[in-house]
């Protein structure tokens, strides 16, 4: 509920026309064995963002970035980094969310 509360409480603190961006993840779309709880949370958050954007006051935009695994994280975990995207590529999705015009969007970094 942390990210849901960031949005709900953020409406009272973000400037008119501002932006709130939260993070879900690839497991919302591509679950794997053992990911049921995380997949539930990610998919639920994406649905909440779509609805919250419709209810947002004062032209506040609400989006969620749904990145895949980050290559640098996979390296740190001693896993194959080819299954992820570089952090710089993922960061561009956040910049798009904050600086763009979309609202209610699930933004997936390009692969």
User: N- to C-terminal Cα distance for the chain?
Assistant: 29
Distance CA 41, CA 38 (A): 5
Residue 86 reports pLDDT greater than 70: yes
Specify the CATH superfamily of domain 2-107: NAD(P)-binding Rossmann-like Domain (3.40.50.720)
The residues pairing with 70 across neighbouring beta strands, listed in sequence order, are: 85
Instruction: Give percent of the chain above pLDDT 70.
Output: 99
CA–CA distance, 36 with 46 (Å, rounded to integer) = 15
What is the predicted pLDDT for the residue at 30? Answer: 92
What are the extents of the domains in the chain?
2-107
What confidence score (pLDDT) does residue 110 get? 86
* Residue 97 predicted with pLDDT over 90: yes
Is residue 2 over pLDDT 90? yes
**pLDDT > 90: percent of the chain:** 97
Tell me: pLDDT of 111 over 80. no
Angle between helices 36-55 and 2-10 (to 10 degrees): 10
Give every CB contact of residue 92 below 8 A, 6+ residues apart in sequence.
Answer: 109
């Amino acid at each position: 509920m942390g990210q849901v509360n960031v949005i709900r409480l953020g409406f009272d603190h973000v400037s008119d026309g501002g932006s709130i961006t939260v993070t879900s993840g690839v497991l919302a779309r591509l679950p794997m064995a053992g990911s049921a709880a995380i997949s539930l949370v990610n998919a639920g958050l994406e649905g909440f963002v779509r609805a919250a954007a419709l209810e947002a006051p004062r032209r506040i935009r609400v989006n969620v970035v749904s990145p895949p695994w980050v290559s640098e994280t996979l390296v740190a975990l001693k896993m194959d980094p080819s299954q992820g995207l570089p952090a710089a590529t993922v960061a561009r999705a956040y910049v798009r969310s904050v600086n763009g015009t979309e609202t209610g969007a699930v933004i997936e970094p390009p692969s």
